Structure 1
Amino acid sequence: MLNVYGIKNCNTVKKAFNWLNAHKIEYTFHDYKKEPAEEKQLIAWQKLIPWESLINKKGTTWKKLNPEQQAAVVDEKSAREILLAHNSMIKRPLIELENELILGFDEQLYTEKLLK
C-alpha cells in the first residue's frame, strides 16, 4: 500500500486521488494539517531526492515568506527547518514508494511507476 502525503483540499492532490482511485490503487493518505511531517520523515525523504525538490516555490506559503527567509534556505538542514515550520510548503502530493518518491501529479510517471 502506498503512502500519500499532502493537503486534502489541494487540487493537485485531488488529481492524484482521482487517478489512484480510477486505477484501483490502494493508499493511505496523510494530511499535513492533521499529521504534520516529522523531522525523521524529512531526513528520509532528503536521502531519496534533492532537498530543493521538496520545496514548493510556486505556492503561496513560499511566496508569503520574506526575502530573507527565502534566502536562508540554502541546504538540507535549513530546508528541513522551514518545511517543519510550514508543512504546506512541501511539494504535493508526495507518494512514497520503496526507496523512491514521486512528487506532484504526472499521469505518465504514475503509469510508469504505479502500474507495474
Structure 2
Amino acid sequence: MLTLYMINTCDTCRKARKALDEKALLYKTHDLRKDGLSAALLEHILNRVPLVDVMNKRSKTWRELSDDEKNYDANSARQLLLTYPTLLKRPLLERDDGTILIGYREGDYDKLG
C-alpha cells in the first residue's frame, strides 16, 4: 500500500491526495503535524532519499531559522527536521517497492497503479 507523508493544510498535499483518489489508488496518510515525525521514521525516509532532497528551503519555517541553524551538517539537519517537521518537503509518496517520490506536480502519479 502507498503511504502519503503530508500535512493536511498543505495545498500541494491536497492536490496529491486528489490525484490518488481520482486514480482510485489505495493509500494511507501520515500527517507530519498530527502524527509527528519520529527519529525512526526520519531515518526510514533518509535511507531512501538524500537529505539534501528532502530539506524544504522554500518553507516559512526555513525562513524563520537563524543563520546558525541554516548552516547545518547531517546530524544537525536531522535534529532540525525532528524539531520542525514542516522542513520536510512534502508530500512524500512511498511506493510499495520502498521508493519515495518527493513533491507533487500534475501528472506525477500517472504511472502508478
- How many angstroms apart in 1 are the aligned matches of 2:100 and 2:84? 20
The gaps in structure 2 that reach 5 residues or longer are none
TM score, norm. by length of structure 1: 0.89
Alignment equivalent of 1:87, drawn from 76, 85, 89: 85
Superposition misfits of 4+ residues, deviation over 4 angstroms: none
Q: Which residue of 1 aligns with 2:110?
A: 111
Partner of 1:6: 6
2:53: which partner in 1? 53
TM-score between both structures, scaled by the size of structure 2: 0.92
Give the aligned length. Answer: 112
Q: Which residues in structure 2 correspond to 1:14-29 (within 5 Å)? A: 14-29=14-29
C-alpha displacement of 1:109: 3.1
**Structure 1: distance between partners of 2:29 and 2:50:** 23
1:99 Cα deviation from its structure 2 partner: 2.2
Counterpart secondary structure, 1:108: coil
Deviation, 1:107, is: 3.2
Please give the secondary structure, in 2, of the residue aligned with 1:111: coil
Larger helix percent: 1
Aligned equivalents of 1:106, 1:53: Cα separation in 2: 16
Give the 3-state SS of the residue equivalent to 1:15 in structure 2.
Answer: helix
SS of residue paired to 2:100: strand
